[in-house]
Amino acid sequence: MRNGLTFDLLHTDGRARLGRVTTRHGAADTPVFMPVGTAASVKALSSQDVRELGAQIILGNTYHLYLRPGHEAIASFGGLHHFMNWPLSILTDSGGYQVFSLSALRRIREEGVEFRSHLDGSRHFLTPELAVDIQQALDSDIMMALDECPPHDAPREYVEKSMALTTRWARRCLARRLEGKGALFPIVQGGLHVDLRIRHIEELAGSDWPGMAIGGLSVGEPREQMMEMVDCAAVRLPADRPRYLMGVGTPRNLVDCVAMGVDMFDCVMPTRNARNGSLFTSAGKLSIKRAEHRLSDLPVDERCSCFTCRNASRGYLHHLFRANELAYFRFATIHNLAYYLGLMSSIRGAIRENRFAEFHREFISGPMGE
Amino acid sequence: MRNGLTFDLLHTDGRARLGRVTTRHGAADTPVFMPVGTAASVKALSSQDVRELGAQIILGNTYHLYLRPGHEAIASFGGLHHFMNWPLSILTDSGGYQVFSLSALRRIREEGVEFRSHLDGSRHFLTPELAVDIQQALDSDIMMALDECPPHDAPREYVEKSMALTTRWARRCLARRLEGKGALFPIVQGGLHVDLRIRHIEELAGSDWPGMAIGGLSVGEPREQMMEMVDCAAVRLPADRPRYLMGVGTPRNLVDCVAMGVDMFDCVMPTRNARNGSLFTSAGKLSIKRAEHRLSDLPVDERCSCFTCRNASRGYLHHLFRANELAYFRFATIHNLAYYLGLMSSIRGAIRENRFAEFHREFISGPMGE
């Protein structure tokens, strides 16, 4: 285990990679999708549900857990794994993204970022050192270095300065990491500028990171520009370490980015869309609130064998959604995560059998290829 | 099976009765508590959860299901059992109670009751015949005859007239029941007047009901008056048929009413209290939102072996409640229903072993004896 993590690159098919990430809490087969468990809960599910879905690693949000219940509270339970009864791997973000997207009155200084909580307006000062301390208190298996996330339309000069700050913060995070604790990944920024993305990777390359993340994407920019950034960045990241694309994405984006050599993904899309009534199926997206489902005795996806598809009809889910019944949220979230985790399993199968290019082509021309 | 139901009275211990109610969808051991599945869902749970808890019969609300999704929609799925994937027995109320407690602009006539939906203000006219038609469309195993539920402080003259109307409506319901469909119970009214309760039982006695319900209680009257009514009514109901006390109650009330010879109960208390943060335990009620639980690694009830107590600490549940996480509602509901179903199991064990009086005394002097 190098700095908290082992990565086994098992096979490649084009630029797509089949691998395995092993942390102190077990292995995850890559390419992997990590369900988002924001506040110590994958929304609407128990940790047992998430295990039964076959997830091998989940994501927790440092910002949310720091504010509520507090990292020291979670540490008193023996860490996030014990607190939420999730025995497998946990990756935590740095808190940076939420500070820049959720909180108020941000003031960025060399030392760190001052912000007000979106919950109660209380003042906090997040430094790279505190970001690591929090994640270590949570006992995260894969920690993220604090980064600044400029808006996607920030001027080039701003992105350049911000990127340099993110590099200095990453080195301070690394200096703070304790031996024996989780692995630490830096986050590649650089906005929508190919040369800055490349330069940032070169700047970060000096340290012995066990893996690296691509950040600052999927924040409102056009899809083509996002893909251009992933394309230029993924191929330049060290081949013997996992590459994590943060906050991505749609099923189509997952398949496209695997083709570019990305290994790890997280996104709220399957869980959030579930709660909003949008379900992913092998035949395309399905809006469960539509009247056409009212009398339908079909499962959400006739090719899916998840708990929801075995036990609830579209008509029943339509009714639960319309009646705002709590049971709806669990049924829908289970199905959407089953879709995402099943997609990743299909992707891994295709890479293993050297038919990923064909899989990719078929996916793009299929109902979820939008 | 007599008119859709078999009741086996297996043993008595004082006035407490051990029995078994068998419907077209299976048996339920009595005294039994029926979780409330208002809108085709025991709130926050899947039907699988409810089965795993060991429930043998649940209650559905005719009023809610009639308005949304509509009884004809449910009939098109093959009935409520198929719609919500619950294979065991279902009891449905008549809709009367909700018409009188939830809807607006009620106008009661001999023919039935006109009301406006609490959902969209639409006008409806519920007759005894329609109440039976709806319940038969749902394929209910135990149907309730339409009754009028006067407020607990209604004048005696009003209660007397209302009771006579409820008797006429019960006979019209019986005439509407189809052979081979669910059993039909009439509802004993009579307000808080012992003589009226007794008279109503005598009025209803002329027909061959497979079981009888006591209604119009637990609607705001003092506990002592409720108990006096149950006391005078339960003992006068036919001994060879199940006696169902509607909408009751607290754990203490369940134990007290079993002592008076009641066999069946339903109440939203375990499920509603769960959602509000109030949990039932062998050591008394526990308010999960209290700060004292923030760092507690104990289960909700150290003597409980339910899914929740095996998998979540008080501290974790406290956090989920505070963070308004959806997972909280399922955890809490499972625990509270486990408490209620476990209590009924203990009650049955005590009756079987002729120690119910002792059980009753101990329960009253214990932490849930309030």
Concatenating the DSSP letter of every residue in B95-139 gives SHHHHHHT-EEEEE-SS-EEEE-TTT--EEEE-HHHHHHHHHHHT
Which residues of chain A from 229 to 248 reach within 8 Å of chain B, CB to CB? none
Record: contact B77-A47, CB cut-off 8 A: no
Nearest CA to CA, how far is A130 from chain B (Å)? 22
Q: Measured in whole angstroms, how far is the alpha carbon of residue B362 from the centre of its chain?
A: 25
A6-267 domain in CATH 3.20.20.105?
yes
Q: Specify the 3-state DSSP secondary structure of B53.
A: coil
Contact B300, A17 (CB under 8 A): no
Cα B328 to Cα A47, B38, B127, B276, B313: the distances in Å are 12, 20, 40, 10, 12
Share of chain A above pLDDT 90, in %: 95
Record: contact A46-B311, CB cut-off 8 A: yes
Contact B258, B356 (CB under 8 A): yes
Any CB–CB contact under 8 A between A11 and chain B?
no
Any CB–CB contact under 8 A between B46 and chain A?
yes
pLDDT, one tens digit per residue, over B170-211 is 999 999 999 999 999 999 999 999 999 999 999 999 889 999
Contacts of B182 (CB under 8 A, 6+ apart): B4, B5, B23, B24, B135, B136, B139, B140, B141, B142, B143
Tokens 């319309």, residue located: A322
- Nearest alpha-carbon partner for A215 in A112, A98, A339: A98
Any CB–CB contact under 8 A between A327 and chain B?
yes
Record: contact A83-B39, CB cut-off 8 A: no
Amino acid (one-letter) located at B159: V
Residue A103 scores a pLDDT above 80: no
pLDDT, one tens digit per residue, over B260-305 is 999 999 999 999 999 999 999 999 999 999 999 999 999 999 999 9
Any CB–CB contact under 8 A between B120 and chain A?
no
pLDDT value at residue B102: 85
Contact A244, A212 (CB under 8 A): yes
Indicate where chain A has its CATH 3.20.20.105 domain(s). 6-267
Q: At what angle do helices B156-176 and B128-138 cross, to 10 degrees?
A: 50
Tell me which chain B residue has its CA closest to the CA of residue A271. Answer: B326
pLDDT value at residue B162: 96
Q: Specify the 3-state DSSP secondary structure of B16.
A: strand
pLDDT interval class at A367 (50, 70, 90):
very high
Pairing assessment for the beta strands A284-287 and A278-281 based on DSSP bridges: antiparallel
B327: nearest CB among A44, A76, A83? A44
pLDDT value at residue A134: 98
Nearest CA to CA, how far is A265 from chain B (Å)? 23
Q: Measured in whole angstroms, how far is the alpha carbon of residue A172 from the centre of its chain?
A: 23
Record: contact A45-B316, CB cut-off 8 A: no
The single-letter DSSP state of residue A291 is: G
Any CB–CB contact under 8 A between B207 and chain A?
no
Instruction: Write down the catalytic residue from B93, B231, B263, B301.
Output: B93
Nearest CA to CA, how far is A356 from chain B (Å)? 37
Cβ-count burial B134-143 (b if 16+ within 10 Å, e if not): bbbbbbbbbb
Contact A288, A280 (CB under 8 A): no
A323 chain-B contacts, CB cut-off 8 A: 39, 41, 68-69
Cα angle value B117/B122/B126 (rounded, 5°): 65
Any CB–CB contact under 8 A between B40 and chain A?
yes
Residue B327 scores a pLDDT above 80: yes
Any CB–CB contact under 8 A between B85 and chain A?
yes
Per-chain mean pLDDT for chain A: 97
**Sheet hosting strand B264-266, strand order edge to edge:** B32-34, B264-266, B243-245, B212-214, B187-188
pLDDT, one tens digit per residue, over A59-91 is 999 999 999 999 999 999 999 999 999 999 999
Residue B166 scores a pLDDT above 80: yes
Any CB–CB contact under 8 A between B292 and chain A?
no
B318 chain-A contacts, CB cut-off 8 A: 69
pLDDT, one tens digit per residue, over A193-245 is 999 999 999 999 988 999 999 999 999 999 999 999 999 999 999 999 999 99
Poorest-pLDDT segment among A99-103, B220-224, B227-231: A99-103
Q: Is A266 a catalytic residue?
A: yes
pTM for the model stands at 0.98
Per-chain mean pLDDT for chain B: 97
A316 chain-B contacts, CB cut-off 8 A: 40, 77, 83-85
Looking from the CA of B27 toward its CB, the CA atoms found within 13 Å total: 9
A311: nearest CB among B43, B48, B294? B48
Any CB–CB contact under 8 A between B43 and chain A?
yes
pLDDT interval class at A1 (50, 70, 90):
confident
Q: Is A93 a catalytic residue?
A: yes
Record: contact B319-A40, CB cut-off 8 A: yes
Nearest CA to CA, how far is A298 from chain B (Å)? 11
Could you give the CA distance from residue B330 to residue A326 in angstroms, rounded to a whole number?
8
Residue B103 scores a pLDDT above 90: no
pLDDT value at residue A58: 98
Cα B120 to Cα B104, B116, B281: the distances in Å are 11, 8, 39
Any CB–CB contact under 8 A between B297 and chain A?
yes
Record: contact A316-B83, CB cut-off 8 A: yes
Cα B73 to Cα A318, B17, B83, B123: the distances in Å are 12, 39, 9, 19
Instruction: Write down the catalytic residue from A13, A93, A141, A263.
Output: A93
pLDDT value at residue B366: 97
Mean per-residue pLDDT for A27-53? 98
Instruction: Write down the catalytic residue from A13, A139, A263, A266.
Output: A266
B60 chain-A contacts, CB cut-off 8 A: none
B85 chain-A contacts, CB cut-off 8 A: 311-312, 316
Record: contact A312-B41, CB cut-off 8 A: no
Record: contact A295-B43, CB cut-off 8 A: no
Nearest CA to CA, how far is A349 from chain B (Å)? 32
pLDDT, one tens digit per residue, over B65-89 is 999 999 999 999 999 999 999 999 9
Mean per-residue pLDDT for A93-111? 89
pLDDT value at residue A104: 77
Burial category of A312 from C-beta neighbours within 10 Å (exposed 0-12, middle 13-18, buried 19 and up): buried
- Cβ-Cβ contacts under 8 Å between A and B: the total is 113
Residue A21 scores a pLDDT above 90: yes
Any CB–CB contact under 8 A between A76 and chain B?
yes
pLDDT, one tens digit per residue, over B299-318 is 999 999 999 999 999 999 99
B73: nearest CB among A46, A77, A294? A294
Contact A312, A332 (CB under 8 A): no
